[in-house]
Amino acid sequence: MAAKSVEDCSFFYFFPNQHIEECREACKVCFGCSAEGQRIENQLLTGQEEDDVPPQEFIYFDNEDDDVSDLQGQSMNQDYIFFWNKGSAWKLNTSTRKLDRLGIYVDEREKQTWIKQVRTGSNKHRVAIRISQTPVKDCVIIWDLVNDCEIVSYDVTKDAMFF
């Protein structure tokens, strides 16, 4: 569901302009240089002055009307920002800005089983998804982002570190 304005959205990701200072000197009309772009970059609401309220973080999902709700965490690799709640995980492509749900689902009615963490590493085509299973065991699933499928999984103790 698309938000009607910046104030109505529950997720905002800013793609910075590497040459913003030069651009601001020259134009003042594109989004990044405009008053609206500056207001958003400085995390201000319409009509709000810069000193009125300290900036708040606004890169999040938390609206039940959004595709992603009840956000439990996020992580990022070279190509994607990952979000997850207790039952599903999503990837947001930072180049195309396309949001896709990963092909893994944990029934949210489960009391002991939920997605605990999505961990990224140096391989941009894989993530590790940690699932809580019992009071003493978790499952780590290595997920193929290209084919959207499990590569391998293994059980670990709740306090085990994984990379």
Average pLDDT (67-88) is 85
Domains of the chain by start residue, with CATH: 1-59 (no CATH), 73-157 (2.40.10)
pLDDT tens-digit readout, 108-148: 788 889 999 999 998 999 999 999 999 999 999 999 999 99
Q: Cα(117)–Cα(138) distance, rounded to whole angstroms?
A: 11
- What is the SS3 assignment for 64? coil
What Rg, from alpha-carbon coordinates, does the chain have?
A: 19
Average pLDDT (13-20) is 57
Closest CA to 102 of 139, 67, 134: 67
Q: Cα(13)–Cα(152) distance, rounded to whole angstroms?
A: 32
What is the reported pLDDT for 57?
39
Residue 155 pLDDT grade (very low, low, confident, very high; cuts 50, 70, 90): very high
Count the neighbouring beta carbons within 10 Å of the beta carbon of residue 110: 13
Total-model pTM:
0.62
pLDDT exceeds 80 at position 20:
no
Q: Cα(74)–Cα(18) distance, rounded to whole angstroms?
A: 24
Closest CA to 145 of 101, 111, 95: 101
Pairing mode, strands 149-157 and 114-120: unpaired
pLDDT tens-digit readout, 79-116: 998 999 889 999 988 877 788 899 999 987 888 899 99
24 or 155, greater pLDDT:
155
